[in-house]
Structure 1
Amino acid sequence: MVALNKLQKAPPFPVEQALKRLGENLRTARMRRNLTIEEAAEKIGTGIRAVADAEKGKPSTGIVVYSALLWLYDLLEPVGSLADPLKDVEGLSHEASKSPQRVRKSGGLDNDF
């Protein structure tokens, strides 16, 4: 058995809470579709334990299981909207503050030594 890393054993509290909410939402989505854990696992090609662990929000569950369940329930957004760099307001602001400032005048060099 592979040893769990520190992040899987004790993730930051907000991450842990987000995973638990995601798991609860996945369980609700499965039940609304009248699927059993076995049926969901079969449809995404994994075991029932992986689906059960995802529904519990376990951090050791692979992201591919979470993603496959979101896909199965038609809740997966198009890739472009999941990580759209243009919507990363904080990142854009940070990047703009670190961009190099223009040193020369816009008129070019003036031969005045």
Structure 2
Amino acid sequence: MPPRSKFISAPPSAVQEAIKRLGNNLRTARLRRNLSHTELATKLGVDRHVIADAENGKLSTSAGVYLGMLWAMNLLPSLADVANPKNDEEGLALSGLDERERARQGGGPSNAF
């Protein structure tokens, strides 16, 4: 078995808090829909323990499970603005600095991602 990731075993507190909050929100959404762990798991094709792990904020649970849970409960559209490049103020500011620096050096804007 490969060594466990340091990020998984000791994540930054902001990450741990965010994943716990997401898990709690998913639990609330599931309960409001009167769905059991088993019912939601069956819809996603996973074991019910996977749903419980996600709701408990287990960091090693795949992003696909979290997205699947959102999809199964019709909450996936709420992710439309998560990491949206148009809302990335820091990235836009840094990108603008890069473009100005290239212009100063005589190069044009880059089309690279």
**TM-score normalized by the length of structure 1:** 0.82
Q: Larger radius of gyration, structure 1 or 2? A: 1
Structure 1 residue runs of 4 or more that deviate by more than 6 Å after TM superposition? none
**TM-score normalized by the length of structure 2:** 0.82
**Partner residue, 1:34:** 34
Greater helix share, 1 or 2? 2
Tell me how large the CA RMSD over aligned residues is. Answer: 1.9
CA gap of 1:2–1:39, structure 2 versus 1, over 3 A, is: farther
Structure 1 spans left out of the alignment, 5+ residues: 105-113
Tell me the secondary structure at the aligned position of residue 17 of structure 2. helix
Task: Give the C-alpha shift of residue 10 in structure 1.
Answer: 1.0
Structure 2 spans left out of the alignment, 5+ residues: 107-113
Q: Which has the higher contact order (CA 8 A, sep 6+)?
A: 1
> Residues 21-45 of structure 1, C-alpha deviation per residue, up to 9 Å, x if partnerless?
0000000000000000000000111
**Partner residue, 2:22:** 22
**Partner residue, 1:61:** 61
Task: Give the C-alpha shift of residue 56 in structure 1.
Answer: 0.1
Task: State the number of aligned residues.
Answer: 104
| Contact 1:4–1:60 (CA under 8 A) maintained in structure 2 | no
